[in-house]
Amino acid sequence: MLSQKTRYAIRAMQHLADKYGQGPIPLTDIAETQNIPAKFLTVILSELSRFGIVASQRGKDGGYWLGVPPIDITYGDLIRVMRGSLALVPCASRFAHETCKNCVEEKDCRTRALMLQVRDVTAGLLDGVRLSDPIELVPAAEGLEAPDDVQA
């Protein structure tokens, strides 16, 4: 699962992407329209600005904006910035690889082999979608109607 913080970060970035080129966007504007606790958002935005993907200015008419054009930021990047990796297990990360504790040897680990495949299809998708891309929305109900052959 993505943490609440990561989800907030993604929505905040989408908001800034939508308003890219329109000057500084005040935190309150993001917080209110995206339904994010304002003070928590300051923590998130300051984290994002340390990575250079958000810029800011203080004082009257200040605010935040993308430090990089939205076409140059993928959803994969965002998740990596916020949680370090796209993978489901530390040993299946291609960039932030870490050996798992209390595991069998990596070369013998079937879980790792499988999770590497999962990471790759996930990355294939998320690294292909940019903050500037339109995303086809899905009606709320459809998430509940699983096809017959799908369990969850």
| Binder of residue 151, out of a copy of itself, DNA, none (CB less than 5 to 8 A by kind) | a copy of itself
The verdict on 39 binding DNA (CB under 7 A) reads yes
| Binder of residue 68, out of a copy of itself, DNA, none (CB less than 5 to 8 A by kind) | none
- Our CA angle for 88, 14, 131, nearest 5°, is 70
Q: Counting beta carbons within 10 angstroms of the beta carbon of residue 87, is it exposed (0 to 12), middle (13 to 18) or buried (19 or more)?
A: buried
Asked whether 68 and 17 are in contact (CB, 8 A), the reply is: no
Provide the binding-site residues for a copy of itself, judged by CB under 8 A: 1-2, 4, 7-8, 10-11, 14, 34-37, 75-77, 80, 83, 85-97, 100-118, 121-127, 129, 135-140, 143-144, 146, 150-152
| Binder of residue 61, out of a copy of itself, DNA, none (CB less than 5 to 8 A by kind) | DNA
The verdict on 3 binding DNA (CB under 7 A) reads yes
Amino acid at 145: E
Residues 40-60 as b or e (16 or more Cβ within 10 Å = b) = ebeebbeebeeeebbebeeee
Return the axis-axis angle of helices 4-18 and 27-34, rounded to nearest 10°: 110
Q: CB of residue 78 vs a copy of itself: minimum separation in angstroms?
A: 10
Q: CB of residue 53 vs a copy of itself: minimum separation in angstroms?
A: 14
> Among residues 57 and 99, whose Cβ is nearest to a copy of itself?
99
Terminal CA-CA length for the chain: 15
Stretch that binds DNA, among 24-32, 67-75, 87-95, 127-135 (CB under 7 A): 24-32
